[in-house]
Amino acid sequence: MILAIETSCDDTCAAILDPAGRCAFSNVVHTQKEHERYGGVVPEVASRAHLERLDGVVQRALAEAGVTLKEVTHVAVTVCPGLIGALLVGLSAAKGLAYAHRLPLIPVNHLEGHVAAAYLTDPLLEPPFVALVASGGHTAIYSVTQSGMNLLGQTLDDAAGEALDKGARMLGLGFPGGPALSKTAQGGDPSRYAFPVALKEKNNLDFSFSGLKTSLLYRLKALDEKDVRKELPHLAASYEAAVVDALSIKLLRTVELYDAPATVVAGGVAANTALRRVLIEECERLGVKLVIPSPELCTDNAAMIGAAAAIAPIVSYPDYLGLNARSV
C-alpha cells in the first residue's frame, strides 16, 4: 500500500493506493477556507493550516481505506513545485511517518502528479502521449514517454488558472474565481467580446495570458457600473472562451506535430466544462484518445501523487532524511 501526502498549496490531502498506483482506496482533501477573505492564498496561513490538519487527514485516509499504518509499504509526498512552507509541512510529516516505520519514501513532482491522475481515470493508459497541465500556478505541455516527461511549451507569464481567478476578481465574482467565472459564463454569449488569444499564430507551443487580463481591465473601464452588471455573463463567457481557445489551440497543435495517439489534460483548469467540451469534440474529430480526470482528480489531491509515486524513484530508509522541498 502507498500512503500519499500532498500539501503544495492550500489543500491538505492524503490517500491510500494500491502498489501499482492505478487504484485509490481513499482520497481525502481538506480545502482551506481561511483564504477566501483575502481573495487568494496566503502562504503563511496555508502552512499553519496544514500543520493543524494533516494528522487528522492522514488518519481519515487510513480509516476510509480500512488499513493501518502497519499495512503501508511506501510513503509518497509532494516535494516540488509549490509554496515552500506548505511543502515542508507535508515532507516533514512524510519523513516522520516513513522513518518511524522504517519505510522507503518516494518524492514526487506535483506536475507529474497531475498527469498521473490520468492513470487513475484510465488504468490501461500507457505512454507515449502528450499532456497539458493547466492550473492556478502552472500551464505547460509535455511529451510523456516511458522515460519521463519532456517540456514542450509553457506560459511565458501567468498561468491559465491564475488568469481565470484574476478575471473573476475583476468581475467581482469572488474566490476561487475559476468555478465562479465558469458558472457565470453559462448564461453568456462567448462571441460578444473579442478578447485576445496571445501567440495564437506563432509556430510554437507557448502560452501568454497577461495581455488577456489587461484587455478585460480596459474593457471594464470603458463600461459604466450598470452596463457591467448587464453584460456580466457575456464578459465572463467571452473571457473564458479566450482562455479555452489558447489552451485548446496549442494542445491540438502538439497532438498533430507529434502524431500523438493519446492526450491527457490535467490540473484544476481541466475541470472547466467549456474546455472539456471543445477538446472532446476536437479529439473525436482527429481520432485521438482523450483522457481527462474527473473534476475531483483535476484539483490538488493525494491520489494523483500516489499514482505518480508508483513509477517514480524510491529513496530507501533512512537516506531521505536529508531530502528537501523546492518551490520550483
Strand partners, 207: 155
Whose cell is 530507501? That residue is 316
Distance from C-alpha of 34 to C-alpha of 75, rounded to nearest angstrom: 28
Residue 199 identity: L
177-185 and 160-170 are packed helices; what angle lies between their axes, rounded to 10 degrees?
70
- pLDDT score of 181: 94
Closest of 175, 145, 173 to residue 233, by C-alpha: 173
Q: Where are the domains of the chain?
A: 2-115+299-322, 129-260
The backbone region for 148, taken as left when phi is positive above 0, alpha when psi lies in -120 to 50, beta otherwise, is left
Asked whether the beta carbons of 6 and 27 are under 8 A apart, the reply is no
Average pLDDT (264-284) is 96
Asked whether the beta carbons of 260 and 128 are under 8 A apart, the reply is yes
Distance from C-alpha of 46 to C-alpha of 12, rounded to nearest angstrom: 9
Residue 12 identity: T
Average pLDDT (241-264) is 96
Closest of 134, 67, 190 to residue 181, by C-alpha: 190
Question: Mind listing the pLDDT tens digit for each residue in 50-93?
Answer: 999 999 999 999 999 999 999 999 999 999 999 999 999 999 99
CB atoms within 10 A of CB 230: 12
For residues 276 and 176, the model is more confident at 276
Mean pLDDT score across all residues of the chain: 95
Asked whether the beta carbons of 185 and 274 are under 8 A apart, the reply is yes
Average pLDDT (223-241) is 94
pLDDT confidence band for 249 (50 / 70 / 90): very high
pLDDT confidence band for 34 (50 / 70 / 90): confident
- pLDDT score of 135: 93
Average pLDDT (5-11) is 96
Give Cα 133 distance to the centre of its chain.
Answer: 7
Which CATH number is associated with domain 129-260? 3.30.420.40
Q: Which of 153-162, 201-210, 307-316 comes out lowest in average pLDDT?
A: 201-210
Question: Mind listing the pLDDT tens digit for each residue in 174-187?
Answer: 877 889 999 999 98
Residue 35 has pLDDT above 80, yes or no: no
- What is the three-class DSSP state of 46? helix
Give Cα 1 distance to the centre of its chain.
Answer: 24
Question: Mind listing the pLDDT tens digit for each residue in 185-217?
Answer: 998 999 999 999 999 888 899 999 999 999 999
pLDDT confidence band for 41 (50 / 70 / 90): confident
Does 2-115+299-322 match 129-260 in CATH topology? yes
List own/partner pairs for 30-39 with CB under 8 A and 24 or more apart: 30/57, 35/10, 35/175, 36/174, 36/175, 38/175, 39/169, 39/174, 39/175
Share of residues in the chain with pLDDT > 70 (%): 100
Burial of 8 (0-12, 13-18, 19+ CB in 10 A): buried
- pLDDT score of 177: 87
Closest of 163, 174, 166 to residue 134, by C-alpha: 163
Distance from C-alpha of 305 to C-alpha of 113, rounded to nearest angstrom: 5
With b for 16 or more beta-carbon neighbours within 10 A and e for fewer, the 38-76 pattern comes to eeebbbebbbbbbbebbeebbeebbeebebeeeebebbb
Tell which CATH classification among 3.30.70.100, 3.30.420.40, 3.20.20.20, 3.30.365.10 matches the domain 2-115+299-322: 3.30.420.40
